[in-house]
Amino acid sequence: MNALATTSARPGAARRRRRRGLTPWLLLSPIVVLISVFMAYPIINVLYTSFFHKNVVMPWNDGFAGLDNYRRMFFDDPTFWPSLGVTGRWVLVQVTCQLVVGLVLALIVNERFRARGPARALVFSPWAISGVLTTSIWLLLYNPSTGIITVLEKFGVSSVGFAPLADVDTAFWAAALAELWRGIPFFAILLLAEVQSIPHELYEAASVDGASRWRRFWHVTLPHLRNVIILSTLLRGVWEFNNVDLLYTLTNGGPGTSTTTLPLYVAQVATISSDFGYGSALTTVAFVILLVLSILYLRLSRLGKD
Amino acid sequence: MTLTRTGRRAGVLGSLVAASALLTGCLSAGGGDTDAEGEVRLTYWDHSGNADESDTLRQILAEFEEQHEGVTVEFLSLPSDSALQKINTAISSDSTPDVSSISGSFLSPFVSQGALLDLEDYFAESSLRDELDPELVESVRGDAPDGVLHSLPFTGTSSILWYRSDWFAEAGIDAIPTWDGFFQTVAQLTDKSQGRYGFTIRGGEGSVFPLLQYAFAYTGIEDFFVDGEATVDDPAMVEAVQRYVDLYDVSTPTADLNNGYAPMVGQFDAGDIAIVQHNLGSLANHEEALPGAFAATTFPPSATGRNVVLSDPLQQYVVYEGTDHPDEAWELVEYLLSPEVNSRVNEMKSQLPTNVEARDDEWIGSIQALSAARDLQSSDDLAVVSPPLYLPEYSSIIRSDMEPVFQQVLAGQVAVADFLGQLAEKLEQAEAGFRSR
Amino acid sequence: MTMTLDKATGSAPAAPAPARRRHTGRDRTHHLRITLPLVVFLVLTLVPFYWMILYAFRPRGSNSLLPVPFTLDNFVYVWNTVGYDVYFRNSVIVALISMALTTVVSVAGGYAIARYRFAGRPALMVALLCTQFIPGAMLLIPLYSIFNSLGLVNNLWSLIIANVVFELPLTVILMSSFIQKIPFELEEAAMVDGCSRLRGFLAVILPQLRPALVAIGSFTFIGAWNSFLFALMFLSTQELFTIPVGLSYTVGEDSINYGVMAAGGLVAAVPVVVIFGFIQKFLVQGISGAVKG
């Protein structure tokens, strides 16, 4: 993850690089073309469209809108502000829990024990599962007539007919749990790679000093993981912010708007209402929020410094 | 050296492009057109995506091909929850089929986009003019914002109450004569300890329309708008909806909040529910799951003593403006609506045919629910209220705007009066916009 | 590089503080510290999978907690009637082409970044990193318009291109840091022997990149296999649906037919879980290699 920070750190190799003018750009041309056409241009397009009325269902209404879309968003839309709150909560819960539990998991499977390989593969496997598939699995689990609840009822642990996704108070947490199920392995894999690269001598030195396991974790492991944690939490935060697949299929934002995140709301506006102008304005705002928060986070965490 | 290098690169790129060209053939679904021998290829999309029905429809289309030398029909089935969006997408990218089925609520958005062919002339010269139920034809004409005939209905349905006849018999109840009787029965048949619920509310996808159907039937209000004011927030409506909402989680399962039609009907078929409000379309499911243990009844009369029905959106056939073969496309529509085929399509869906000549077919008489619905439709004591399908915003108001709010009502976060007030305000705004155009 | 490969065999002392099981006291803490939490993790991970398998193989109406009696009806229905045979084929096509394109393009780009110094290189790196903040879901609308004007809507290429574009930035960065770690002297030696740069690359660098290719290739394969929102938006007709789209409709329409939903889920899960099982070790090593630069 800190590949970026180190790519230019090998002056010896760099000096020997050829300075042929066009070759590198020739090699990079597919990337440059793809990213400008399918990323840069769309972003500019979104910005532009956000100042227009554009709704395929009501073509007579199309035209320049000025700041109408933004006015509607900030003052007239009962969904926008709550969706921001839900997004914030979602990102915070996901990143924190995934990081903490992922780290614990990484440390556990880094220890030596019998059948470590298969055990790792098993606990990491939800990493490869898509949001939609996670939905179909957890729908089965949460459904009051098919779910794990039918078993819990028998032992009297749960009340009859309890439906976690149908309750405004529990739906958010039920969805969060499903996402954690496949999100924790992401951090665990990333952190395990990093934990394995900690020089053994560091631990030995600490052991000689008689440091407790906890102190070794605190003074050796954690500092070593610092940069990776900063970068991976940032990337994961952005990713969870933008994560639509699971919520779109599991709760579709409900009950009410209790699980409607901003990107999910954008997807709904785009696919159900076909209101592209307003959807673009929402997108622009989400993008600005994400960019500002990311820069702030990198500044505050002082990446790469001690 | 440099030359060799770029030469090889070009080779790699070249073969990629060639591979792409090859693959494009099989990676895209080609729209139908005329091919070299002058054969006509039509594309037909079904909007109600259902694996079992698709087989019957393919069969019907194959028979059409047999009867029409030189015409082939490509069949595609769209998933029902996204059919509207998919066809909208096709319209904006000029890749519509020639003919499709649609739900009544699609009509106005499509007409607004100028996507549908005007069928007036074709219809005037066709034998269908004397065969299709004239009231239904008139109602789809009125649903189009320009008042022109762009579609023809193929299925009439109506909302009814399905109930467990065996539970009713056990409890000594024989019918639901009044709305008070309905609420009494629901309470009486609820026994949570046994996992039995008197009723189930549709709280998820598609929740608002059935709610309004109930509310109109209960209150007996016979107009949707009065002088541009929506009637849905009338105090009588508030009272009716309140009574309905109060059932939630008392006489209905908690999970109702998320249920669209499939899980709702599924619960009834699983044997957990005494009464469910749905249309005729779920008959086949009940037949399979609860043979002989269920029956259907139309809504009880309203507070005014009259039967009031907020009519269900009709399923209809349309021909798209983009078709290259309007005549053949019309022939297909004509064929699909002919008495024999219309009867088969409706038998498959267990709904009422729109072709009057098919209405007396034997299979209808043998289905109690259908004949009850047919009898109600011909009753004198019936007032039919049409929802404002002509408003292009209608679907998005009823669906994306109001469904989440109704969930909040069920969860006790929003008052019924506020919910109906919001709904009325949005409908009135859309109505005013429509009138001023 | 060779170090990393050694690690993959599992012979290196990976555990920083291995618990030596000599005393029973040590044994107990070992169980408390490792076995117990590990079992908890395993149960939490596997119960959801088990539930899906249970419903997929259990006949309708059975309440047993074991898939006995056993039925394949759900799979037959999902495969033949719902159309998973078509979805599966489409998903394989999309995932393979996306994987191939992403890998080829990232090797070329990664090589340029790792081995050349040129004006605009730092700017390019920043730009690549910035793309990570761009929400794919939010570009749905303009991307749709672009594909529409290219005539690629309702065509698997739109999905493939979108997948490649959104996977590329990260894979290029990873690939360049892999290539950077391969000593330039190796290539130089090959060129002194009279090889062209391309030959040198093919003969010397490519074999060294095998773990990176496995990691990046499988990463993009799984990403493309799971790609949902683009597919939902760009593909209209059932003939072109990929597994996630098909699955989302199964969830929507057969949500009461639990066996069908579970069987569809299992069809979606098996390929990625199997691939993941094989490459999981490489993935850890691959990331580790890239991270260490």
Residues A235-274: pLDDT tens digits?
A: 899 889 988 889 988 988 889 889 999 999 988 887 777 7
C254 neighbourhood in chain B, CB within 8 Å: 262
A198–C291 C-beta distance less than 8 A? no
Contacts of A270 (CB under 8 A, 6+ apart): A276, A279, C140, C141, C233
C253 neighbourhood in chain B, CB within 8 Å: 49-50, 79-81, 262
Contacts of C51 (CB under 8 A, 6+ apart): A137, A140, A141, A147, A148, C262
| Among the ranges given (A131-145, C20-34, C167-181), the one the predictor scored with the smallest mean pLDDT | C20-34
Q: What is the pLDDT of residue C20?
A: 44
Cα B424 to its chain centre, rounded Å, is: 22
Mean pLDDT of C252-268: 82
* Segment B161-211, tens digit of pLDDT: 999 999 999 999 988 989 999 999 999 999 988 889 999 999 988 899 999
B204–A260 C-beta distance less than 8 A? no
Cβ(B159)–Cβ(B215) below 8 Å: no
Q: What is the pLDDT of residue C154?
A: 82
> How far is the alpha carbon of B153 from chain A, nearest alpha carbon, in Å?
22
Neighbours of chain C (3+ CB pairs under 8 A): A, B
Distance of alpha carbon A59 from alpha carbon A124, whole angstroms: 49
* Segment C140-157, tens digit of pLDDT: 778 888 888 888 888 899
B205–A59 C-beta distance less than 8 A? no
Residue intervals of chain C classified under CATH 1.10.3720.10 are 82-292
* Segment A107-122, tens digit of pLDDT: 999 888 888 888 888 9
Distance of alpha carbon C256 from alpha carbon C250, whole angstroms: 10
* Segment A1-32, tens digit of pLDDT: 444 444 444 444 444 445 557 788 888 999 99
- The better pLDDT of the pair A190, A105 is held by A105
C interface residues, B as partner, C-beta within 8 Å? 81-83, 93, 97, 101, 104, 144, 148, 152-157, 196-198, 232, 236-240, 249, 252-256
Q: What is the pLDDT of residue B161?
A: 93
Angle at A56 between CA A53 and CA A60, to 5 degrees: 60
Mean pLDDT of C170-189: 84
Residues C243-247: contacts with CB within 8 Å, 24+ apart?
Answer: C243/C84, C243/C87, C243/C88, C243/C90, C243/C91, C243/C267, C243/C268, C244/A130, C244/A131, C244/A132, C244/A133, C244/A245, C244/C91, C244/C268, C245/C87, C246/C82, C246/C83, C246/C84, C246/C87, C247/A132, C247/A133, C247/A136
> What would the two tokens of residue B227 be?
């002088």
Tens-digit pLDDT string for chain B (437 aa): 333 333 333 334 344 444 444 444 445 444 444 454 568 999 999 998 776 788 889 999 999 999 998 999 988 888 777 788 888 878 877 778 999 999 998 999 899 889 999 999 999 999 999 999 898 999 999 999 899 999 999 998 778 899 999 999 999 998 898 999 999 999 999 998 888 999 999 998 889 999 999 999 999 999 999 999 999 999 999 999 999 999 999 999 988 998 888 888 888 988 899 999 998 888 888 988 899 899 999 899 998 888 899 988 899 999 999 999 999 999 999 999 999 999 999 988 888 899 988 888 888 887 887 888 777 777 778 888 989 999 988 988 998 889 999 999 999 999 999 999 999 999 999 999 888 87
With bands split at pLDDT 50, 70 and 90, how would you rate the model's confidence at C25? low
Q: For residue B85, give the nearest of A58, A143, A272 by CB distance.
A: A272
A253–B88 C-beta distance less than 8 A? no
B28 touches chain C (CB under 8 A): yes
Mutation for testing the C interface, residue in A10, A25, A28 having most C CBs under 10 Å? A28
Which burial class, exposed, middle or buried, applies to A281 when counting CB atoms under 10 A from its CB (0-12, 13-18, 19+)?
buried
With bands split at pLDDT 50, 70 and 90, how would you rate the model's confidence at A61? confident
DSSP state at residue B105: G
Looking up tokens 């609520």 gives B105
Q: How many helices (H) and strands (E) does chain C have?
A: 15, 0
Report the candidate in B145, B436, C268 with the shortest Cα–Cα distance to residue A133. C268
Q: What is the pLDDT of residue B437?
A: 76
Q: Which fold has domain B40-157+313-359?
A: D-Maltodextrin-Binding Protein; domain 2 (3.40.190)
Mean pLDDT of C27-46: 84
Distance of alpha carbon C293 from alpha carbon C288, whole angstroms: 9
* B32 SS3 class: coil
Distance of alpha carbon B152 from alpha carbon B108, whole angstroms: 14
- Complex-level ipTM: 0.85
B79 touches chain C (CB under 8 A): yes
> What would the two tokens of residue B374 be?
């047919």
| Among the ranges given (A49-53, A288-292, A297-301, B7-11), the one the predictor scored with the smallest mean pLDDT | B7-11
The amino acid present at B29, given as its one-letter code, is: A
B251 neighbourhood in chain A, CB within 8 Å: none
Q: Which helix (H) or strand (E) holds C144?
A: helix C140-149
Cα B38 to its chain centre, rounded Å, is: 37
Q: Which helix (H) or strand (E) holds C84?
A: helix C84-115
Distance of alpha carbon A105 from alpha carbon A89, whole angstroms: 23
* Segment C37-94, tens digit of pLDDT: 899 999 999 999 999 999 899 887 777 778 778 888 889 988 988 889 999 999 999 9
Q: What is the pLDDT of residue C191?
A: 73
Mean pLDDT for all residues in chain C: 81
Neighbours of chain A (3+ CB pairs under 8 A): B, C
- The better pLDDT of the pair A11, A294 is held by A294
- The dotted CATH code for B159-310+382-435 is 3.40.190.10
B40 φ, ψ to 5°? -95, 130
Asked if the model's pLDDT at residue A144 lies above 50, the reply is yes
**For B81, which residue in chain C has the nearest alpha carbon?**
C252
Distance of alpha carbon C270 from alpha carbon C281, whole angstroms: 18
Mean pLDDT of A189-204: 83
C105–A34 C-beta distance less than 8 A? yes
Q: At what angle do helices C140-149 and A276-301 cross, to 10 degrees?
A: 120
- The dotted CATH code for C82-292 is 1.10.3720.10
Domain locations in chain B as residue ranges:
40-157+313-359, 159-310+382-435
Domains of chain A: 13-40 (no CATH), 50-301 (1.10.3720.10)
Mean pLDDT for all residues in chain A: 84
Q: What is the pLDDT of residue B25?
A: 44
Q: Please determine whether the domains at B40-157+313-359 and B159-310+382-435 fall in the same fold group of CATH.
A: yes
- Count of residues making up chain C: 293
Tell me whether strands B71-77 and B40-46 are parallel, antiparallel or unpaired.
parallel
**CB A40: neighbour CB atoms within 10 A?**
14
Which residues pair with residue B45 across a beta bridge?
B76, B100
Q: What is the pLDDT of residue B84?
A: 84
Mean pLDDT of C102-128: 89
